[in-house]
Structure 1
Amino acid sequence: MLSMPMPSFSRFAAALGLALAALLPAARPAVAEVTLSFYTGYQTSPHSRFEGNDGTTDFSFLSEWEGRSFEMPPYYGVRAMVWRNENWGWGAEFTHAKVYASDETLADNGLETLEMSDGINILTANLMYRWPGQWAGGRITPYVGGGLGVAIPHIEFQDDSGGPETFEYQITGPAARWILGASYAINDTWSVFGELNGTYSSNKGDLEGGGEWESDIITNAINVGLTYSF
């Protein structure tokens, strides 16, 4: 399983921006609308099984996850889309979602830390469909979408005996996304939107001390955001 040293937030954001900037000019047709969307919101995650071994002992338990959307670093996302016509568009989306094992999960399983507070980060290539100008004098546009990509979580794991601490970004497996929302046009350039945005990721990574972990994680979010069109 691939892993990487923990980058700073600024380097991670800069790398994402460069990737999107490189993608869009090359992909943009001669006549197309490009949109950049930025959002935050309230994100949760249902329980999921967390299993593996710490290098010596196998473990398997049901983790109760908490999203803690508004704690630092906060939940957020960015989406870049190229709309080939009024209805169909494609692009890329990055979501910095989070999961923390509850205090009860930690206590019941002899853990000091189990969280992905620097993100169960999801990067997907999206396909979206919209119905422009449906209500409010043509200002409201409903849309749906989905995407496939990869999970890049920052896993933090340590048992309560003071054993090896895992604290790093890892590329852990495939991810999928689903989107349902509507935007409201303020003018020809700016719009606001609200949406439901969910992700699924199948994760398998490494632990310090020769161990490994795996977990299938779902996130569900209610997003609000701002879109710039050009």
Structure 2
Amino acid sequence: MRHGLQAKVVALAVICGYLAAPAVAQDMEVSVYTGWQTAPHSRISGDYPGGGDYDALIGWEGRSFEMPPYYGVRGTWWRNERFGFGLEFTHTKVYAPDDERAALGFDRLELTDGLNIVTLNALRRWPDQWKGLTPYVGGGLGLAIPHVDIETAAGDKTFGYQVTGPAVRLIAGASYDLNERFAVFGEYQFVYSSNEADLDGGGSFNSDIKTNALNFGLSLKF
């Protein structure tokens, strides 16, 4: 998927279409969030375009509030007071530090118009606990669809969206109702994604990337 914003548009269209299904008695909820996202070290490996291989441990940077920012959208169908399922899209980011990418022979090494994650989630909540707070936990399985932005010192450039492998999401947080329609929430998210990308010119990029995020956001119920 190397066509501009196609990956994001498809993911968001799926969520919107899902939420536009015929109305039922259960609650629907759309949540948007941003926050502070980081990524611990992970090993990268692969082949350079034109030959040769590389293997190194990279200390990724998240830079959550730099453009393009970190954000997410989640649609949840609560089947009853406690259990729900839905879809979630997260625009996560990782940058290789300048000195580490340069030492490997890269002028650019980042997934920054998104290490985009789309998952199908299952959630469990405990309504109206602790002075109106509703704790919840959840997990999801899906795909990593990053925008691969990699350029070697030799000038070989890869710039586009790819489906790179499976992803797993874990969530724990709490929400607080402002009224019948709106709620605010805070949560922790862990995401694991296995990424195998193709580099233009015949090379490859492989890395299992883990991200941690503290999110805050707003939910609309209908």
What CA distance in whole angstroms lies between the structure 1 residues aligned with 2:154 and 2:8? Answer: 35
- Give the alignment partner of residue 89 of structure 1, picking from 60, 84, 102: 84
| Aligned mate of 1:37, from 8, 27, 31 | 31
* Structure 2 residue aligned with 1:168: 160
1:145 maps to: 138
Output the amino acid matched with 2:43.
Answer: R
- Could you tell me which residue of structure 1 aligns to residue 150 of structure 2? 157
What TM-score does the superposition give when structure 1 sets the normalisation length? 0.92
Q: Structure 2 matches for 1:136-215, cutoff 5 A?
A: 136=131, 139-162=132-155, 164-215=156-207
The 8 Å contact of residues 115 and 157 in structure 1, kept in 2 or not, is answered as yes
1:118 to 2:118 alignment:
no
The aligned counterpart of 1:7 is 4
| Corresponding letter in the other structure for 2:91 | H
In 1: Cα distance, 2:113 partner to 2:13 partner: 20
Distance between the aligned counterparts of 1:140 and 1:212, measured in 2?
A: 47
Structure 1: runs of 5 or more not aligned: none
Give distance in 1, aligned partners of 2:152 and 2:89: 30
* Percent sequence identity over aligned pairs: 51
Shift of 1:58: 0.8
Quote the Cα distance in structure 1 between the aligned partners of 2:9 and 2:60: 29
**Shift of residue 190, structure 1, vs aligned partner:** 0.4
Q: Is 1:18 matched with 2:13? A: yes
Q: Say if 1:100 and 1:24 are closer, same or farther in 2 by CA, change over 3 A.
A: same
Alpha-carbon distance between aligned partners in 1 of 2:12 and 2:146, rounded to the nearest angstrom: 18
Contact conserved, 2:148 with 2:160, CA < 8 A, in 1? yes
- 1:57 offset after TM fit, Å? 0.7
Q: 1:30 deviation in Å?
A: 2.7
Structure 2: where are the runs of 5+ without partners?
none
Which runs of structure 1 show a deviation greater than 6 angstroms over 4 or more consecutive aligned residues? none
Taking the aligned partners of 2:197 and 2:116, their CA distance within structure 1 comes to: 14
Are the equivalent residues in 2 in contact too, given 1:29–1:84 (CA < 8 A)? no
CA apart distance, 1:29: 6.9
Give secondary structure in 2 for the equivalent of 1:154: strand
SS at match of 1:119: strand
Which residue does the alignment assign to 1:100? 95
SS at match of 2:180: coil
Choose the corresponding residue for 2:53, options 55, 58, 67: 58
Kept in 1: contact 2:143–2:164 (CA 8 A):
yes
> What RMSD, in angstroms, separates the aligned Cα atoms of the two structures?
1.4
Query: TM-score of the superposition, structure 2-length normalised?
Result: 0.95
1:12 deviation in Å?
Answer: 5.1
**Structure 2 counterpart of 1:72, one-letter code:** M
User: Secondary structure at 2:25's aligned position in 1?
Assistant: coil
How many residue pairs align between the two structures?
221
